[in-house]
Amino acid sequence: MDPARKLATFQDLMSLPDDVRAEVIHGSIVALPRPLPRHSNVQRSLGSFIGKPFHDDDGFGGPGGWWILLEVAVQLGAHLVVQPDLAGWRRERLPDPWDKRPIDVMPDWVCEVLSPSNAAHDRVTKRRLYAEHGVPFYWIIDPADGTLEALRLDHGVWVEVAVLDATDVARVPPFEAIELPVGRLFPPPPAPPAER
């Protein structure tokens, strides 16, 4: 690294135009692509399937106890700010996240939804960062393949706890209190052409 180079911080992200999505990775600003509708659909669906019982419980019978947030800035270090597609915190660890930017409490769960242009960033760079900083659970969802890979951190090493496809309905840690219909995270398959 060039010793004369100024390392970027969260303040540098705040100075970017509002329509620019970016993270600070080891002091460098990394631009993120705008998500495709397929990517956004996974975020919305997962936010519903996980968010309703764990975040929106409000006494309606769900397990509750979590905040599930989409695309918030999470500060891992002075020169390390990520923007996970979804992140979750147990409420006792983050009682009041509403006016924090960036959130400086490590998430208890992170989910990244792969895009063709940034799959390596999520699969390699962010996977390493989340392990180094002690995120207990990491999910990687690939909308193109219709798969969900769930990892649990064990003494600094990721351990695979589930690899699922659209045919699976499973209880996936840390949200094993509910069954997750994996196929419903993805857009429905195209309808067959009408017969003439």
Among the listed residues 92, 132, 127, the one whose alpha carbon sits nearest the alpha carbon of residue 110: 127
- Which of the pair, 118 or 24, is modelled with greater confidence? 24
Per-residue confidence (pLDDT) for residue 59, from 0 to 100: 63
In this structure, what are the phi and psi dihedrals at residue 22, rounded to the nearest 5 degrees?
Answer: -155, 165
The distance of Cα 30 from the centroid of its chain, to the nearest Å, equals 17
**Cα Rg for the chain, rounded, in angstroms?**
18
pLDDT tens-digit readout, 26-47: 999 998 888 888 889 999 999 9
Residue pLDDT, tens place only, 142-184: 999 999 999 999 999 999 999 999 999 999 999 999 999 999 9
Q: Residues in the chain, how many?
A: 196
Domains of the chain: 34-185 (3.90.1570.10)
